[in-house]
Amino acid sequence: MSIEVKVPQLPESVADATLVTWHKKPGDAVSRDENLVDLETDKVVLEVPAPVSGVLEKILIEDGVTVTSGQLLAIIAEGAKAAAAPAAEAAPAKLEEAAPAAVAATAPAVTATQESSGKLSPSVRRLIDEHNLESVTIKASGPDGRLTKGDVLAHLESTGATDDGGDIEELTGGLADSRSEKRVPMTRMRARIAERLVEAQLTAAMLTTFNEVDLTEVMALRARYKEAFEKRHGVRLGFMSFFVKACTEALRKFPVVNAYVENNEIVYHNYYDIGVAVSTERGLVVPVLRDADQMGFAEIEKNIGVMAGRARDGKLSIEDLTGGTFSLTNGGVFGSLMSTPILNPPQSAILGMHKIQERPMVVDGEIKIRPMMYLAMTYDHRIIDGRESVQFLVAVKEALEDPSRLLLEL
């Protein structure tokens, strides 16, 4: 029986998608719910699973084509079996006698890796495609013999690949062609990121205000309770939960920072959906913590960890990325000491975190070494005045320098 594989219903805000890559070819056996093809929208990569088990009979849409909801992609012959591969020529008798144990030992490992290659996560597939690798040549360490991103990166490092995504000879073009160039079209996601950043520059009156925060108390609190916290909640106590809590408390005091402009109106939110920027191989995405003000530290840390993992594996949905009221971005993880973040439209403010650096500070008339971080808040000056932006940032600073204020909601 022939079963149609169609583009799933796309979210209301997404008109179409681009077919990125097929993971099966005609004649291949497929299992129910196995990912057949990746579709890239402006925001996320969607996987299209096989509706039944059988054999992929026909592919109707090739890579790079734009598709819409309900469009026919392929045909699966339900219940069919893939044609058996032709038997390899028998090895000479002497070789069979010389190394039967070695052949028997290596065959199962290759088979397991080949089987796992059809179940690669999007991030692993992209690495393999970008570097023109064969999955069967990479040692897998994941569950059920699956390849992980770490396996691919370790393989690249062992073979002399660079961090830029190619080996040295490929990037330089060799000594004879050291000034070569390469043109690569933007992905839909990168093009959408570029569009939104330009939109923010053109539509908002952006201004950035700065402050610095002494994280001595936060770091002491983490050091004191990190083991008990992780044992109790099963997640590490990071810095981001402190910043999310500090921002939600500051947003309560200055609701205009949690608002946005729509035509000639200011829309105020009575809820706090905090976006947390996550860097992925395909670009920056900002998944949203819903009702962050109602979460405890452990719940915030768990949700951030889950969202970051889903973002890097291309598993985020459109709903995960829409509807935020305020955003946080942490350039400090990459070593940034100071920056001016760009608004995430239609939001009116974003807080930039930076590298924690020990600096000499005057404390009670004495010079002491303190772990300091610069904070930068970019805001839409159309609705947020300088006074409110500065007071908001001071409220965040005070909450972080005295974390007990977060517990007492002061």
Active-site residue set: 381, 385
By the 8 A CB rule, do 59 and 22 touch? yes
| H or E element, residue 101 | helix 100-116
Sign of the C-alpha dihedral, residues 335, 339, 344, 347? positive
By the 8 A CB rule, do 361 and 216 touch? no
366 vs 262: CA distance, rounded Å: 50
Strand-by-strand arrangement of the 45-49 sheet: 45-49, 35-40, 17-22, 66-67
Q: Which residue has the tokens 């830029």?
A: 164
By the 8 A CB rule, do 88 and 107 touch? no
| H or E element, residue 312 | helix 297-312
Degrees to nearest 5, angle at CA 89 with 85 and 94: 145
SS3 at position 110: helix
By the 8 A CB rule, do 196 and 265 touch? no
